[in-house]
Amino acid sequence: MNWWYPTLPPNASSFGGEIDSLFYIILYITGAVFFITEIALVWFLLKYRHREGRKAVYIEGNTTAEIVWTAIPALIVVALGLFSQPLWSRIKVDIPADAIPLRITGKQFEWHIKYPGPDGRLDTGDDFTRRGELHVVVNRTYSFALGSEDVIHSFFIPVFRLKQDALPGTSIPGWFRATETGQWEIACAELCGLGHYRMRGRVWVHTQEEFDQWQASQARPAAADTTATPPPPTRRRAP
Amino acid sequence: MSTAAAPVAATHHEHHEMSFVRKYIFSTDHKIIGIQFLFLSLFFLLVGGLLAMTIRWQLGFPGRPLPMGGLFPQTMAPNGMILPEFYNALVTMHGTFMVFFAIMPLLVGVFANYLIPLKIGAPDMAFPSLNMWSFWLMIPAGALMVAGFFVEGGASAAGWTGYAPLSADQEYTGVSTGQVLWCLSLIVFALSSLLGSLNYITTVINLRAPGMTWFRMPLSVWALFITAILGLLAIPILAGALIMLMFDQTIGTHFFLSASGGQPLLWQHLFWFFGHPEVYILILPAMGITSDVIANGSRKPIFGYHSMVYAIIGIAFLGWVVWGHHMFQSGMNPRLGTTFMISTMVIAVPSAVKVFNWLGTMWKGDLHLHTPMLNAVAFVAMFIIGGLSGIFMANTPVDIYIHDTYFIVAHLHYVLFGGSLFAIFAGIYFWFPKMFGKLMNETLGKVHFWLTFVFYNLVFFPMHLLGMGGHMRRIYDPNQYEFLQPLAPMNKFVSISAFLLGLSQLPFMVNFLWSLFKGKKADINPWRDNGLEWTVPSPPPHGNFAHTPTVYHGPYEFSHPQAAEDFLPQNQPLPAAPLQPGGARQETR
Amino acid sequence: MSAWKLVALGTISALALTGCGGGGEAGSGGTPAAAVAFPVDTTTAATITGTVRFAGTRPTLARIDMSEEATCAGKHPNGAFSEVAVVNSNGTLANVFVYVKEGLDAGLTFPVPREAVTINQDGCIYHPRVFGIQVGQTLNIQNSDGLLHNIKAVPTANRPFNISQPTNMTTSRTFTTPEIMVPLECNVHSWMNAFVGVTTHPYHATTGADGSFTIRRLPPGTYTLEIWHERFGVQTQQVTVGASESKTVAFTVRG
Instruction: Tell me the pLDDT tens digit for each residue of A203-237.
Output: 999 999 999 999 998 865 444 333 444 444 433 33
Instruction: Identify the three-state secondary structure at position B267.
Output: helix
| Chain A residues with CB-CB distance to C149 below 8 A | none
Contact B189, B117 (CB under 8 A): no
The residue of chain C with its CA nearest to that of B243 is C14
Question: What pLDDT sits at residue C213?
Answer: 95
Question: What pLDDT sits at residue B63?
Answer: 85
Provide the pLDDT confidence category of residue C11 given band limits of 50, 70 and 90. Answer: low
Question: What pLDDT sits at residue B75?
Answer: 84
Instruction: Tell me the pLDDT tens digit for each residue of B57-96.
Output: 999 999 889 988 788 888 889 889 999 999 999 999 999 9
The sign of the dihedral angle between the CA atoms of A86, A87, A88, A89 is positive
- Interchain contact, A229 vs C190, CB within 8 Å: no
Q: Which domains does chain B have, with CATH numbers?
A: 30-535 (1.20.210.10)
- Interchain contact, B166 vs A87, CB within 8 Å: no
For residue C35, list its beta bridge partners. none
- Interchain contact, B264 vs A152, CB within 8 Å: yes
Question: What pLDDT sits at residue C2?
Answer: 47
For residue B97, pLDDT over 90 is answered with: yes
For chain A, say whether C64 makes contact (Cβ under 8 Å).
yes
Residue type, B258: S
Nearest to C169 among B78, B181, B477 (CB): B78
Helix H or strand E segment including B178 = helix B177-206
- Interchain contact, B250 vs C14, CB within 8 Å: no
Provide the pLDDT confidence category of residue C152 given band limits of 50, 70 and 90. Answer: very high
Q: Which residue did the predictor score with more confidence, C41 or C230?
A: C230
- Interchain contact, B177 vs C18, CB within 8 Å: yes
For residue B293, pLDDT over 50 is answered with: yes
Question: What pLDDT sits at residue C15?
Answer: 54
Instruction: Tell me the pLDDT tens digit for each residue of A1-16.
Output: 455 556 789 999 999 9
- The Cα–Cα gap between C174 and C30 comes to 12
Burial class (CB in 10 A: 0-12, 13-18, 19+), B180: buried
For residue B3, pLDDT over 80 is answered with: no
Instruction: Tell me the pLDDT tens digit for each residue of B21-50.
Output: 888 888 899 999 999 999 999 999 999 999
Contact B173, B85 (CB under 8 A): yes
- The domain segmentation of chain C, as residue ranges, is 37-254
The sign of the dihedral angle between the CA atoms of A51, A57, A61, A65 is negative
Question: What pLDDT sits at residue A225?
Answer: 38
Question: Shortest CA distance to B250 belongs to which of A238, C9, C155, A193?
Answer: A238
Query: Mean pLDDT of all residues in chain C?
Result: 86
| Distance, first Cα to last Cα, chain B | 17
The sign of the dihedral angle between the CA atoms of B388, B393, B396, B398 is positive
Does the domain at C37-254 match CATH 2.60.40.420? Answer given as yes
Interface of B with A in 215-244 (CB under 8 A): none
Task: Give ∠ CA A26-A31-A36 in degrees, rounded to 5.
Answer: 135
Instruction: Tell me the pLDDT tens digit for each residue of A43-68.
Output: 999 999 999 988 999 999 999 999 99
Residue type, B87: Y
Question: What pLDDT sits at residue B548?
Answer: 95
- Interchain contact, A196 vs B88, CB within 8 Å: yes
Nearest to B177 among C22, C160, C162 (CB): C22
The residue of chain C with its CA nearest to that of A108 is C187
Query: Mean pLDDT of all residues in chain B?
Result: 93
Classify B185 in phi/psi space as left (phi over 0), alpha (psi -120 to 50) or beta: alpha
DSSP-assigned letter for residue B159? T
* Whole-complex ipTM: 0.91
Burial annotation B280-305 (CB, 10 A radius, 16+ → b, else e): bbbbbbbbbbbbbbbbbbbbbbbbbb
Contact C115, C133 (CB under 8 A): no
The CA R_g of chain B, rounded to the nearest whole Å, is: 24
Task: Give ∠ CA B570-B571-B577 in degrees, rounded to 5.
Answer: 80
DSSP-assigned letter for residue B512? H
Instruction: Tell me the pLDDT tens digit for each residue of B389-401.
Output: 999 999 999 999 9
- The domain segmentation of chain A, as residue ranges, is 16-51+63-93, 100-224
Task: Give ∠ CA B117-B119-B125 in degrees, rounded to 5.
Answer: 5
For chain A, say whether B165 makes contact (Cβ under 8 Å).
yes
Provide the pLDDT confidence category of residue B185 given band limits of 50, 70 and 90. Answer: very high
User: Stretch C142-167: mean pLDDT, rounded?
Assistant: 93
Question: Shortest CA distance to B448 belongs to which of B509, B496, B515?
Answer: B509
Burial class (CB in 10 A: 0-12, 13-18, 19+), A3: exposed
Contact B193, B531 (CB under 8 A): no
Question: What pLDDT sits at residue C38?
Answer: 62
Whole-number percent of chain A with pLDDT over 90 = 84
Instruction: Please state which of the ranges A209-218, B49-58, B168-177, C40-49 shows the lowest mean pLDDT.
Output: C40-49
For chain A, say whether B475 makes contact (Cβ under 8 Å).
yes
The residue of chain C with its CA nearest to that of A221 is C62
Contact A138, A178 (CB under 8 A): yes
- The Cα–Cα gap between B178 and A3 comes to 41
- The Cα–Cα gap between C146 and C123 comes to 10
Residue A220, Cβ neighbours under 10 Å: how many? 10
For residue C16, pLDDT over 80 is answered with: no
Question: What pLDDT sits at residue C125?
Answer: 96
Interface of B with A in 85-114 (CB under 8 A): 85, 88, 91
Interface of C with A in 193-212 (CB under 8 A): 193
Cis peptide before C181 (omega within 30 of 0): yes
| Chain C residues with CB-CB distance to A229 below 8 A | 62, 82, 84-85, 231
List, in sequence order, every beta strand (DSSP E) within chain C.
Answer: 46-55, 63-64, 80-81, 97-102, 117-122, 125-127, 130-134, 139-143, 149-153, 161-165, 169-173, 179-185, 193-199, 204-206, 212-218, 221-229, 233-241, 246-254
CA dihedral A113, A118, A124, A129 (to 10 degrees): -20
Classify B444 in phi/psi space as left (phi over 0), alpha (psi -120 to 50) or beta: alpha
- Interchain contact, B477 vs C166, CB within 8 Å: yes
Question: What pLDDT sits at residue B246?
Answer: 97
Distance from CA of B486 to the nearest CA of A (A): 9
For residue B578, pLDDT over 70 is answered with: no
Distance from CA of A229 to the nearest CA of B (A): 23
Instruction: Tell me the pLDDT tens digit for each residue of B312-333.
Output: 999 999 999 999 999 999 999 9
Instruction: Tell me the pLDDT tens digit for each residue of C183-193.
Output: 999 999 999 99
Cis peptide before B539 (omega within 30 of 0): yes
Instruction: Tell me the pLDDT tens digit for each residue of B457-506.
Output: 999 999 999 999 999 999 999 999 999 999 999 999 999 999 999 999 99
Distance from CA of B457 to the nearest CA of A (A): 14
- Interchain contact, A200 vs C68, CB within 8 Å: yes
For residue B584, pLDDT over 80 is answered with: no
Instruction: Tell me the pLDDT tens digit for each residue of B197-230.
Output: 999 999 999 999 999 999 999 999 999 999 999 9
Contact A205, A173 (CB under 8 A): no
For residue A189, pLDDT over 70 is answered with: yes
H helices within B369-469, ranges in order? Answer: 371-394, 396-402, 406-415, 422-436, 442-468
- Interchain contact, A154 vs B404, CB within 8 Å: yes
Q: Which residue did the predictor score with more confidence, B14 or A49?
A: A49
For residue B180, list its beta bridge partners. none
Distance from CA of C211 to the nearest CA of A (A): 21
- The Cα–Cα gap between A81 and B396 comes to 9
DSSP state string for chain A: --SSS--PPP--BTTHHHHHHHHHHHHHHHHHHHHHHHHHHHHHHHHTB--TT---------HHHHHHHHHHHHHHHHHHHHHHHHHHIIIII---TTSEEEEEEEETTEEEEEE-TTTT-SSSTT-EEEESEEEEETT-EEEEEEEESSS-EEEEEGGGTEEEEE-BT--EEEEEEB-S-EEEEEEE-S--STTGGG--EEEEEE-HHHHHHHHHHH--HHHH-TT-SPPSPPPPPP-
Nearest to A232 among C160, C187, C230 (CB): C230
Those residues whose C-beta lies under 8 Å from the C-beta of residue A182, and which sit 6 or more positions away, are A12, A159, A204, A205
Distance from CA of B102 to the nearest CA of A (A): 24
Instruction: Tell me the pLDDT tens digit for each residue of A91-119.
Output: 999 999 889 999 999 999 999 999 999 99
Does the domain at A100-224 match CATH 2.60.40.420? Answer given as yes
Instruction: Tell me the pLDDT tens digit for each residue of B126-173.
Output: 999 999 999 999 999 999 999 999 998 899 999 999 999 999 998 899
